[in-house]
Amino acid sequence: MCTSIPISMQRLLGSKLYTKIFDNVKGRVSEIRVRLNHKIFVSAGGKFFKIDYEVTKEQIDNILCAATNNSVYALSDSMNNGYINYGKGIRIGIAGEAVMDKDKIHSIKNISSLVIRIPFEAKGCSDFLPTDRLVGRNVLIVSPPYGGKTTLLRDLTRRISDTGKNMVVIDERYELAGGQGVLDLGECTDIIQGMPKAMAYSNAVRALNPSYIVTDELMGEADLASISDIKRCGIGVIATIHAKNIAELKKSKENKQLFEVFNVFVTLSPEPRAGTVVEVVYA
């Protein structure tokens, strides 16, 4: 873990809550779930811990204050999309009451849950995928939550980038790169952050001349259509998707495009621990 992340987490949680969590948890903390009037749940070292500490509204407000640098208005756009980028790759998912303005989310109020995800670099975790076997191929990493998709994607990007391939990472929610110089994505990687994927794909193809485009969490027809377009441009794609396994993906007609774009499928599982490789299929 980057040495600056503990300092960031202490500032975010406050010293009291930080001590309560990190003194009572064994292993590397990857996720902290804070819910109003409930105990705190922490995911660390592949296990879940329940911290005997009930969260108050004031504490949630304090975390939000720290997360937004006392300026909710500065991050209201991303909050309307359900997250706050805290920096250093730390992403905070938020749940609360939506204030709608016709069909659009105007704002989120009465925030009652926060999911703080802490990035993890596991250099070498993608070594089982030889880069020379991936030349000219598009890779899809499939896993349910907590499977380690993003960590694997990050390492794979770094390794391919270090072979000299120009990589463009579409980091819409600031999770992959974690800000400039925080997480290592390789020597030949350009990062587009905070931009909706559909716009970012277009910018990347037209202006950045990539060998590969890397993106996390494909979801919806728009994403699938975009990666099909990218493939047609002759650019490689490396991406992740939420699913239990490839068989589950095949059940949905919407996912048919995936099998036309990708020809390497890596399935991960959170059991017995995050990053467990279930299978690798070279189509």
Partner 1 sequence: MLNFGIGIMLFAVSTYFGLYYRRRCRLRAQLYAELYEFSLYLTEQISYSKTPLPLIFSTFSLGKNTEFAALLLEYSKEFEQKEPTEYALKHINDREKSEILSFFRGLGKTDVDNQIKKLSEQKQWIKNKKEITQTEETTKGKLYFKLAVIIGIALLIIVI
Judged by the rule CB under 8 A, the positions of this chain that interact with partner 1 are 14, 62, 65, 68-74, 76, 79, 106-107
Question: Would you say 6 or 14 has its CB closer to partner 1?
Answer: 14
Q: Do 192 and 171 touch, CB atoms closer than 8 A?
A: yes
Rounded Cα gap, residues 201 and 228, in angstroms? 11
Considering only CA atoms, which of 26, 25, 30 is closest in space to residue 43? 30
Question: Would you say 105 or 277 has its CB closer to partner 1?
Answer: 105
Region class of 177: left (phi > 0), else alpha (psi between -120 and 50), else beta? alpha
Question: Would you say 62 or 131 has its CB closer to partner 1?
Answer: 62
Q: Least distance in Å: CB of 133 to partner 1?
A: 46
Work out whether strand 29-35 and strand 39-44 pair parallel, antiparallel, or are unpaired.
antiparallel
Q: Least distance in Å: CB of 14 to partner 1?
A: 8
Amino acid at 246: I
Tokens of 38: 């409930």
Rounded Cα gap, residues 171 and 179, in angstroms? 10
Beta-bridge mates of residue 244: none
Q: Least distance in Å: CB of 86 to partner 1?
A: 13
CA 83 from centre of chain: 11
Question: Would you say 110 or 252 has its CB closer to partner 1?
Answer: 110
Q: Least distance in Å: CB of 110 to partner 1?
A: 12
Q: Least distance in Å: CB of 102 to partner 1?
A: 14
Q: Least distance in Å: CB of 194 to partner 1?
A: 13
Q: Do 275 and 123 touch, CB atoms closer than 8 A?
A: no
Question: Would you say 126 or 193 has its CB closer to partner 1?
Answer: 193
Tokens of 162: 């270090």
Question: Would you say 62 or 228 has its CB closer to partner 1?
Answer: 62
